[in-house]
Amino acid sequence: MRSARRDFERLYGASPAHLLGALASFAVIAVAAMGWFVEPAISLEYILIWFGGAIVAHDVLALPLYSALDRLTALRPRRRAPAHGVAGRRAGEGEDRGERVRVPGHVYLRVPAILAGVIGLVYSPEILGKGDATYFIASGQHQHVYLGRYLALVAALFALSGLAYLRSRHTRRG
Amino acid sequence: MRLPGVDPDRPPPGPFRHTFWRSPLRGPWLTAVLGLGLLITIPVIAVTGFLSNDAYNPSLGGNSVGRHLGLLDFYLFRWPAHPSWLYALTQGTHVTLGLAVFPILLAKLWSVIPRLFEWPPVRSPAHALERLSLAFLVGGALFEFATGMLDIQYAYLFKFFFTNAHYYGAWVFSAAFAFHAAIKLATMRASLAARRELRPLMSDLAHTRSEGDAGAMGATAPSSDLIAPAPAAASMSRRALLGTVGAGSAFLLVQGLGDSLGGPLRKLAILGPRDRFGPGPNGFSVNRTAAAAEITAQEVGPGWRLLLRSPRRSLSLSRAQLEAMPQHTYELPIACVEGWSTTQRWTGVRVRDLAALVDVSGEALATATSLEKDGVFSAATLDPNEVSADAMLLALHVNGTPLSLDHGYPARIIGPALPGVHCTKWVGQIAFTELRSA
Residues B70, A131: C-beta atoms closer than 8 Å: no
Task: State residue B426 phi and psi, 5-degree precision.
Answer: 50, 50
Instruction: Decide: A139 and B289 in contact? Cβ < 8 Å.
Output: yes
Helix (H, G, I), strand (E, B) or coil at B342: strand
Contact map slice: A 101-130 vs B, CB within 8 A: 101, 103-104, 106-107, 110-111, 114-115, 118-119, 122-123, 125-127, 130
SS3 B413: strand
Distance from CA of A168 to the nearest CA of B (A): 14
Which amino acid does the sequence have at B311?
P
At B16-29, the pLDDT tens digits run 998 899 999 999 99
What is the spatial distance between Cα A122 and Cα B256, in angstroms, rounded to a whole number?
12
Q: If pLDDT is split at 50, 70 and 90, which confidence band does B438 have?
A: low
Highest mean predicted confidence (pLDDT) among A41-45, A55-59, B247-251, B263-267: B247-251
**pLDDT-derived band at A89, boundaries 50, 70, 90:** very low
Ranges B30-34, B132-136, B261-265: which has the least confidence: B261-265
Is the Cβ pair A91, B24 closer than 8 Å? yes
Distance from CA of A159 to the nearest CA of B (A): 16
Beta bridge partners of B70: none
Question: In which element (H, E) is residue B169 found?
Answer: helix B162-194
A contacts of B288 (beta carbons < 8 Å): 137-138
- Dump pLDDT digits (tens) for B137-148: 999 999 999 999
Residue A151, min C-alpha distance to chain B (Å): 11
Highest mean pLDDT among A87-101, A127-141, B104-118, B201-215: B104-118
A164–chain B Cβ distance below 8 A for any pair: no
pLDDT at B411: 97
* Chain A interface test: which of B111, B113, B271, B342 (most A C-beta within 10 Å): B271
Nearest chain B CA: its distance from A131 CA (Å) = 4
Q: Across all residues in chain A, what is the average pLDDT?
A: 83
E strand or H helix at B45: helix B28-55
The interface predicted TM-score of the complex, written ipTM, equals: 0.91
Mean pLDDT confidence for B34-58: 96
Note the pLDDT of residue A100. Answer: 64
* B39-43, B212-216, B227-231, B259-263 — most confident range: B39-43
For residue A40, is the peptide bond before it cis, meaning its omega torsion is within 30 degrees of 0?
yes
B274-279 average pLDDT score:
67
Residue B180 CA to residue B175 CA, distance in Å, equals: 9
- Please, which residues have CB within 8 angstroms of residue A172's CB and are 6 or more apart in sequence? none
| Residue contacts between A and B (CB atoms, under 8 Å) | 238
Helix, strand, coil shares of chain B, percent, nearest 5, are: 40, 15, 45
Within 10 angstroms of residue B267's Cβ, the number of other Cβ atoms is 10
Do the Cβ atoms of B387 and B342 come closer than 8 Å? no
- pTM for the predicted model, two decimal places: 0.91
Q: For residue A27, which amino acid is it?
A: A
- pLDDT tens, position by position, A35-78: 888 766 677 778 888 888 999 999 999 999 999 998 888 875 44
CB atoms within 10 A of CB B245: 24
